[in-house]
């Protein structure tokens, strides 16, 4: 019956973790998946999360959440994305549901897009997080790409990006990374976001923001929502996927939120009911634990303050590792420019290494990363940075 089933190709990101785990070498380093580690290379549970869990323990039942998830968690998520005093929240113009982290939020949106705008396409940046392609492919939404990254400068190709926005048919859907672009670590400046928003207005495009890394770009979740706020000020309807995997370290809890800003409350009620309808046959209702943790932390000023400090701590450690990696490469006498390591932001460095160079890192040095040359800076520590720099120097020597 299943004889025709071929093994699926390995996932370009999670497959790297599998290979890392299978390697017995004591020297091995995992800078593949974007998952934060402390300076000893260990996974981190934030103190605010531990405290929220202490409060949950023994106090709450395990009933189903509604199909759309926790109302409290959704309210807090909307404040984080749209602003504490957002008029859109007060006017109930936002249709929002709890989602299975960022992937789940994107997938719900993609399915919604296919169901209600069956002739639409999605414009996706080149490059992007590999799973974006899977998500919209499986939702059967045709994909187009738009220019984003400039390989020579290892920065933003702003004129290419603007041209592609102008040349897309009016009313196109664009998937934008709200901050800390994955994999490039390259974000538009505030001024550039204003120009992008303006052009979107001219072209009546719909921006869907993936905000998986709120807090990891600047260390401040409020500042990292700037791009979204600019689009809101300009009067766009937007969509937004939020995740607490990275900024609360709730990776395996699958805590996230999908929101769509509608024209009025009635439309928001209708859209939310349809999102719930899409969720029901897929997973019925979302998991409760992560949602409780998120709503307890964001609802309590003291715990929220602690969370903000801890997010900044994670972002700062990564910035420190960017400096250390660059300095080590320079100390080794690398003739190449490594300025982009410190110019890029967020969790990733898009190193410019070729797939062949990455293969050498893995085969000769037991260093695991995605073949597009992306280094998860969250996996770099004071203990492995010199080893990593030396290996990069060896494989990139002209
Ligand atoms: C990543 O890009 O490494 C993360 O978003 C993890 C994932 O699910 O791919």
304 is catalytic: no
The answer to whether the CB of 179 is under 6 A from ligand 1 is no
129 is catalytic: yes
Residue 63 has pLDDT above 80, yes or no: yes
Same domain, 225 and 367: no
pLDDT at 58: 80
The answer to whether the CB of 182 is under 6 A from ligand 1 is yes
Report ipTM (2 d.p.): 0.95
Residue 33 has pLDDT above 90, yes or no: yes
Per-residue pLDDT tens over the stretch 269-279: 999 999 999 99
Of 278, 303, 328, which one is at a domain's C-terminal end? Answer: 303
Give the count of alpha carbons within 13 A of 58, CB side only.
2
Whether 287 maps to a domain, the answer reads yes
Whether 205 maps to a domain, the answer reads yes
Same domain, 81 and 22: no
Q: Mention every residue, 6+ apart, whose C-beta is less than 8 A from residue 158.
A: 188, 192
pLDDT at 389: 98
Same domain, 232 and 365: no
Q: Supply the residue whose CA is at minimum distance from atom 5 of ligand 1.
A: 34
Structure tokens, 77: 């998520």
Q: Supply the residue whose CA is at minimum distance from atom 9 of ligand 1.
A: 13
Same domain, 256 and 341: no
Own/partner contacts of 5-12, CB < 8 Å, gap of 24 or more, are 11/130, 12/130, 12/370, 12/371, 12/372
pLDDT at 171: 97
Of 247, 271, 303, which one is at a domain's C-terminal end? Answer: 303
Q: In angstroms, rounded to a whole number, what is the distance separating the alpha carbons of residues 303 and 307?
A: 6
The answer to whether the CB of 193 is under 6 A from ligand 1 is no
224 is catalytic: no
Same domain, 342 and 387: yes
pLDDT at 61: 84
Residue 260: which CATH number? 3.40.640.10
Residue 341 has pLDDT above 80, yes or no: yes
Question: 3-state SS string over 162-206?
Answer: HHHHHHCCCCCEEEEECCCCCCCCCCCCHHHHHHHHHHHHHHCCE
The answer to whether the CB of 34 is under 6 A from ligand 1 is yes
Q: In angstroms, rounded to a whole number, what is the distance separating the alpha carbons of residues 388 and 376?
A: 12
pLDDT at 398: 87
pLDDT at 133: 98
Of 210, 226, 307, 326, the catalytic one is 210
How many domains does the chain divide into?
Answer: 2
Residue 60 has pLDDT above 90, yes or no: no
User: Could you list the residue range(s) of the whole structural domain that residue 215 is in?
Assistant: 54-303
Whether 398 maps to a domain, the answer reads no
Crossing angle for the helix pair 301-331 and 47-56, to the nearest 10 degrees: 150
Q: Please indicate whether residue 57 or residue 144 has the higher confidence score (pLDDT).
A: 144
């Amino acid at each position: 019956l299943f004889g025709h089933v071929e093994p699926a190709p390995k996932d370009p990101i999670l497959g790297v973790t599998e290979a890392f785990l299978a390697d017995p070498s004591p020297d091995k380093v995992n800078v593949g998946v974007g998952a934060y580690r402390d300076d000893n290379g260990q996974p981190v549970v934030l103190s605010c999360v531990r405290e929220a869990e202490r409060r949950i323990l023994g106090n709450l039942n395990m009933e189903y959440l509604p199909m759309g998830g926790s109302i409290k968690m959704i309210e807090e998520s909307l404040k984080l994305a749209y602003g504490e005093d957002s008029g859109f929240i007060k006017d109930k113009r936002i249709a929002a549901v709890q989602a299975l982290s960022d992937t789940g939020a994107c997938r719900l949106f993609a399915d919604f897009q296919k169901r209600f705008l069956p002739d639409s396409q999605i414009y996706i940046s080149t490059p992007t997080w590999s799973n974006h392609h899977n998500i919209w492919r499986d939702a059967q939404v045709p994909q187009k790409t738009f220019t984003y990254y400039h390989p020579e400068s290892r920065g933003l190709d702003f004129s290419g990006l603007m041209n592609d926005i102008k040349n897309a048919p009016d009313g196109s859907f664009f998937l934008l990374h709200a901050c800390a672009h994955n994999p490039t670590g390259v974000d538009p400046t505030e001024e550039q976001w204003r120009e992008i928003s303006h052009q979107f207005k001219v072209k009546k495009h719909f921006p869907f923001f993936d905000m998986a890394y709120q807090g990891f770009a600047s260390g401040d979740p409020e500042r990292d929502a700037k791009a979204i706020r600019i689009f809101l000020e300009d009067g766009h309807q937007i969509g937004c996927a939020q995740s607490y995997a990275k900024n609360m370290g709730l990776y395996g809890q699958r805590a996230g939120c999908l929101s769509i800003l509608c024209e009025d409350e009635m439309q928001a009620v209708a859209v939310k009911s349809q999102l719930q309808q899409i969720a029901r046959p897929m997973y019925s209702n979302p998991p409760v634990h992560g949602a409780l943790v998120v709503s307890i932390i964001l609802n309590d000023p003291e715990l929220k303050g602690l969370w903000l400090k801890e997010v900044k701590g994670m972002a700062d450690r990564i910035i420190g590792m960017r400096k250390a990696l660059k300095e080590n490469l320079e100390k080794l006498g690398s003739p190449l420019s490594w300025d982009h390591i410190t110019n890029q932001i967020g969790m990733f460095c898009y190193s410019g290494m070729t797939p062949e160079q990455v293969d050498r890192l893995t085969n000769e040095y037991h260093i695991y990363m995605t073949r597009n040359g992306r280094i998860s800076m969250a996996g770099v520590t004071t203990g492995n940075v010199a080893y990593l720099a030396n290996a990069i120097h060896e494989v990139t020597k002209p």
